[in-house]
Amino acid sequence: MSIRAAQSSALSALQSSQAGISVSSENIANASVEGYTAKSLSLASSVTTGSATGVTVTSVGSTVDSYLLKSISEAASESGYASVFESPLEMVATGFGDVGDDGAISTQIADLETALAALAVSSDSQSEKSTALSQANAIADELNNLSSTVQAQRASADQSIEDTVDQINDLLNEIQSYNNQLNGSDTTTLATSELEDARTQAINDLSELIDISYYTNDSNSTQIYVGGTLVVGSQVQQLSYNAVGAVNDETTFSDITVNGNSIMDDISGGSLGGLIELRDETLPDIQAELDNLATTLMDSINAVTNLGTAFPAPSELVGTEETDVTDAFSGTGTVRLAATDDDGNAVEVLEIDLSTIATVQDLVDAINGSTYLSASVGSDGTLEIATSDDDYGVSIMNMDASVGADGQGLSDYFGLNDMFTGDDASDISVNSVWLDDTSNLPVGSGADDATLAVGDSVISSGSSDIAEALANLFDENISFDTAGNLGSTKTTLSDYAAEILSDVAQQASTAETEASVATSAYEELVESFSNQYGVNTDEEALTLSNLESAYEAAAAILEITQSLMDTLLEAVR
């Protein structure tokens, strides 16, 4: 080998050692950086006129299993999805409490049963009436609070959806920035490999937020798809969404869009997919269970209280159901209305054959044809029946009346003696007139004997059959429709409330377990990736030491060959 060839070989060895030192130093420096993969040099022999003249660096980087990267991306999406449910459901479960807790809705319903049983024994006790109404009011307040808890978590999820969309857009722009730097880049540089690592990490972070598909083209640009929508290609197509703010069970949410087109059907994984499911399915299912309890409670209890009349009867009854005088009316049987004095005796008895009534106006006219009773539909659409003399009261006896498709009593149909008002768990409340004056609570029913006449007793202070029926209602198996996770069933009001608490607790527990499993699976893949492709600082330190020795040896050879060359030149002179 000539001196010149030796110099060339030593120089290439020096340069490759220097490059290797740079790579190892960079590996050690970035050992704790998430997603960073250990880099190495690929070398090739340099051949001149058939003779080896040294080595050259052909590439710098790391060769990573693309299938493992895809697996990590999928696991990130599953982990992001599962982690969304744990905290909100735990907060809801905490707010609902456990079966048997003093403040739990199932316990409060049982307490109302106890209060009504006590009222049945002392039906003329204003104290017992007050206790029963206070307990009913506590149930309404609890249902309101539970509904508010659910809707607050929906509002929180909705705001998180907006925040997550912003994070997704930031990552899309970050990936596009890496694409711009890597497009057509030289793969022999360390900087290129580090950019690829950073892009891979950004893709994993993105996958945790939303389920995506992606591939890298020949120009080293990664294209990102959400479903069939390209969001990173030649440019970024950003997602768009604005949270609505206050949320209730009637709230309608807008779609997440790209360029004005909805992508809701393409989002099923990642934290964004989880948040959408939490907001639109999981929490509404819990709300549906609460609403089912509230409406069944209202309908069942109101059906009983509307069979009764207070003692003394109030001078005015105002319904809770909206109607109009032009509305069609379909009924059968006879209903009895009576104007009563303070002793509960009839001063007028009016019996109406409902088969002759075709509209609400017909009913109003029939009542207005009496001497002491009048009827009208108020500006709010509710039926009002009142006496013309404030010293008299209005009593309704349903007799054999059946109104509407559900066969309700007349008073029940219009809600004239409802204990509970409202549409669902969010707005259920106790009749405010009864709360202000507990004597309005009907604990007995009026006389239904065929010979009732003016002067006869309609209702007495000792009547208690309605209070007894209310207490007995809580021991009956009542039909509940399918709602949320609970199928149709026949059970008691208290037991159905307990089923809701159990369902919420079970969902919270399941969410915690699934989040733990998904997170562990993701972390195990990341750890496996790190073990396989991450930096081993001990190995890198040894490699660095060897490279430094090689560098020193190459430098020594250069020094020797330079000395030989100088000697030769001197000899020539």
pTM of the model: 0.87
Segment among 1-15, 170-184, 491-505 with least mean pLDDT: 1-15
Q: Has residue 118 got a pLDDT over 70?
A: yes
C-alpha dist (Å) from residue 220 to 175, 193, 380, 425: 12, 11, 69, 56
Average pLDDT over residues 446-470: 95
- HSE on the CB side for 271, CA within 13 Å? 24
So what's the pLDDT on residue 113? 97
Let me know: does 217 contact 211? Beta carbons within 8 Å. no
pLDDT(151) > 60: yes
Distance CA 141, CA 135 (A): 10
More confident site: 489 or 53: 489
Q: What is the mean pLDDT of residues 520-525?
A: 94
| Rounded average pLDDT over 210-233 | 94
Per-residue pLDDT of 301-352, as tens digits, reads 999 999 999 999 999 999 999 999 999 999 999 999 999 999 999 999 999 9
The residue type found at 520 is: S
Give 268 or 238, the one with higher predicted confidence. Answer: 238
Q: What's the confidence (pLDDT) of residue 235? A: 93
Spatial neighbors of 541 by CB under 8 A, at least 6 apart, are 28
pLDDT at 36: 73
Residue 56 in tokens: 């050259």
Question: What was the pLDDT predicted at 50?
Answer: 60
Q: What is the mean pLDDT of residues 221-227?
A: 95
Task: Please tell me the least confidently modeled range out of 42-56, 197-211, 313-327, 442-456.
Answer: 42-56
At 494 the pLDDT is 97
Mean residue pLDDT across the chain: 90
Percent with pLDDT over 70 in the chain: 85
Distance of CA 458 to the CA centre of its chain: 53
What does the pLDDT average to over 39-63?
64
If one compares 182 and 3, the residue with the highest pLDDT of the two is: 182
Identify the pLDDT of residue 262.
Answer: 97
In order, the DSSP letters of 90-142 are: HHHHHHH--TT-TTSHHHHHHHHHHHHHHHHHSTT-HHHHHHHHHHHHHHHHH
Q: Domain residues of the chain, as ranges?
A: 3-62+537-572, 64-98+147-309+472-534
Residue 35 pLDDT greater than 70, yes or no: no
**Most confident stretch, 52-66, 191-205, 350-364:** 350-364
Digit-coded pLDDT (tens) for 534-567: 555 666 666 666 667 766 776 777 778 777 777 7
pLDDT score recorded for residue 549: 73
| Least confident among 15-24, 160-169, 331-340, 403-412 | 15-24
3-class SS of residue 568? helix
d(CA 233, CA 238): 11
- How large is the average pLDDT for residues 370-393? 96
Q: What is the pLDDT of residue 65?
A: 76
**pLDDT over 80 at 141, yes or no:** yes
Indicate if the pLDDT at residue 191 is higher than 70. yes
Three-state DSSP string of 32-78: CCCCCCCCEEEEEEEEECCEEEEEEEEEEECCCCHHHHHHHHHHHHH
- H/E/C letters for each residue in 342-395? CCCEEEEEEEEEHHHCCEHHHHHHHHHCCCCEEEEECCCCEEEEEECCCCCEEE
The tokens describing 167, both together, are: 């994070």
Q: Is the distance from CB of 62 to CB of 533 less than 8 angstroms? A: yes
Band of pLDDT at residue 382, cut at 50, 70 and 90: very high
In the predicted model, what is the mean pLDDT of residues 379-405? 96
Confidence grade of residue 212 (pLDDT, cut at 50, 70, 90): very high
Residue 188 has pLDDT above 60, yes or no: no
Three-state SS at 510: helix
Q: What is the rounded average pLDDT of the residues 519-533?
A: 85
- pLDDT score, position 378: 95
Separation CA 186–CA 78 (nearest Å): 35
